[in-house]
Amino acid sequence: MHSILITGGALLDGSDHRVPTPSELLVKGDRINAVGLNGPVGKAQVLDARGCMVAPGFIDVHAHSDTTVFLEPTAQCLVYEGVTTEISGTCGLSLFPIAGPCAESRRASLRRSGIDADWRDAAGYFDALDASGRPATPDEVQQMTTHLHRALDQGALGLSTGLCYAPGCFAAPDEIAALCRCLAPSGRPYCTHMRSEGRHLIESATESIAWCRESGAPLHISHVKVMGRAYWSKIDAFERLLFETRESGLDVTADRYPYTAAMTDLASVLPDRLMEGGRGRALERLGDTGALSDLAVEFERDRAQDVRWDAIRIGRASHDAELFEGRTLQQVADHLNCRPLDALFEVLRRGRMDVSAIFFDMSEENLERILQWPFVLFGSDTAARALTGPTARGKPHPRTFGTFARVLGHCVRDRKLMDLSEAVARLTSRPAKRFGLSNRGVLRKGAYADIVVFDANRIRDRATYDTPFRLSEGIRHVLVNGVPVLQDGIQLPQHRPGRVLRG
């Protein structure tokens, strides 16, 4: 059995407030064999960790690599940040089950990305890794609960919803409540991208809390934030609500990325009604003068006051909209000599609705406050990419290549928002506990050998909004299941020891 000896570093084992302790770490096979040495180790590969911290591999609790893992299985951006585990399927964007009226359109969309989605359920999706807008009827709710029970039995880690996107935005409260009741017996969490993160933030959080309080399911709030300059002051009421809810005994956690810009579908700017019936119907509406007029009236009435056109930048666009990547909607409007709302319609038409954007609409003060809440974990809210190949396109958010290095460099070392040991715990043991990942997120004998060695003085993010394809610095070694995937700062793409982690 292959052995690896990590020597010369200071261990942060994932425990809260643990002082870094000089010690050796012996790995045999895919497990940690010893923490500290009492005798000879025999023949072993030696990894030098002098001047570095040795920690459990980082866990990205909010990711979207469901599809890109097929296109970029080496996960280059993650490896260079010390990430060894991802929780994907978030914001209700899971790739299973593929069933019901939307199944064929979903498969067609995936085929356009070069992915043949020949699975139907969680088991099928996991096996592949290892090698529409109306209230649901009671029968359909029963079908959803059946799908959820089956997915949980097959190893899914919980339930996620994206309540600001179609079709989740059309879900009635009773539907979500019924699904949350399925989670309670297993203790697996309900993870939600809430209906609103701005104007109706408090109401949306209260709604989510009520479902979990009634059902007994744990609650996890995805990319917790306050969006929109006019609503930044809601942070006080939001903080009180979350802390009081936790003090009352409800199991509430959240995740956040360390940036003040969000990234999501450009279509989210427009009223939900655009997406009724799916993407095909949305494209039909974008080509219908009467439908556009109705959408414009609804937008001006309900949403226009919350939109700053110069703060929305096209990140990734498909088809004929690619030329707009990196431009704000105001710049697109100036280029097309039209009003910004018409520019938005045009970008969506040319991109056939497959357009994402970066929204610069959050407060740095609020960000730092949220990051100091002890129940907030860290998630990139992005997908695995590389500097070359099929994923090296568009203008993605810098969080793609920078999230975890920014936490340890900018937030911990430079801004001192938390101490290093707490940050490591919130990157490792706490997310492992939240999502039921046994023997992960800790450095102890018998645990899986997911390990990162990093220089706390050098680690930093280099990706920016203008140049997002830049690798982070300061990670020396990364092991996944006992196999080096990054050694002396160089990726070993021929090593792919990752596994599906089932609940």
pLDDT at residue number 125:
87
Burial class (CB in 10 A: 0-12, 13-18, 19+), 302: exposed
Tell me how far apart the alpha carbons of residues 170 and 125 are, in angstroms, rounded to a whole number: 26
Whether the Cβ atoms of residue 441 and residue 431 lie closer than 8 Å to each other: yes
With tokens 């005994």, the residue in question is 249
Summarised one tens digit per residue, pLDDT across range 337-350 is: 999 999 999 999 99
Tell me how far apart the alpha carbons of residues 269 and 314 are, in angstroms, rounded to a whole number: 12
Summarised one tens digit per residue, pLDDT across range 388-445 is: 999 999 899 999 999 999 999 999 999 999 999 999 999 999 999 999 999 999 999 9
**Domain annotation for the chain: domains and CATH numbers:** 1-87+391-503 (2.30.40.10), 88-264+361-390 (3.20.20.140), 271-360 (no CATH)
Q: How far is CA 164 from CA 195, 196, 293, 324, in A?
A: 5, 7, 22, 25
* DSSP character string of 47-113: EE-TTSEEEEPEEESSB--TTHHHH-TT-HHHHTTTEEEE--STTTT------STTHHHHHHHHHHT
pLDDT at residue number 336:
96
Residue whose C-alpha is closest to residue 411's, from 469, 467, 361, 364: 364
Fill in the DSSP letter of residue 486. E
pLDDT at residue number 15:
85
* DSSP character string of 260-283: SEEEEEGGGGS-GGGGTT-HHHHH
In what helix (H) or strand (E) does residue 139 lie, and over which residues does it extend? helix 138-153
Tokens of 150: 């089956």
Whether the Cβ atoms of residue 339 and residue 368 lie closer than 8 Å to each other: no
pTM of the model: 0.79
Sign of the dihedral through C-alpha 314, 260, 192, 124: positive
User: What averages of pLDDT result for each successive group of 10 residues across the chain (503 residues)?
Assistant: 92 83 92 85 91 94 88 88 92 84 80 79 85 71 93 95 87 92 94 95 97 96 96 98 98 98 94 84 89 92 92 93 95 96 96 94 97 97 94 93 98 97 96 95 96 97 96 97 96 92 89
Sign of the dihedral through C-alpha 404, 384, 3, 35: positive
Q: How far is CA 185 from CA 77, 182, 432, 500, in A?
A: 36, 7, 19, 23
Query: 264 pairs with which residues across the strands?
Result: 357
Residue whose C-alpha is closest to residue 368's, from 327, 406, 323: 406
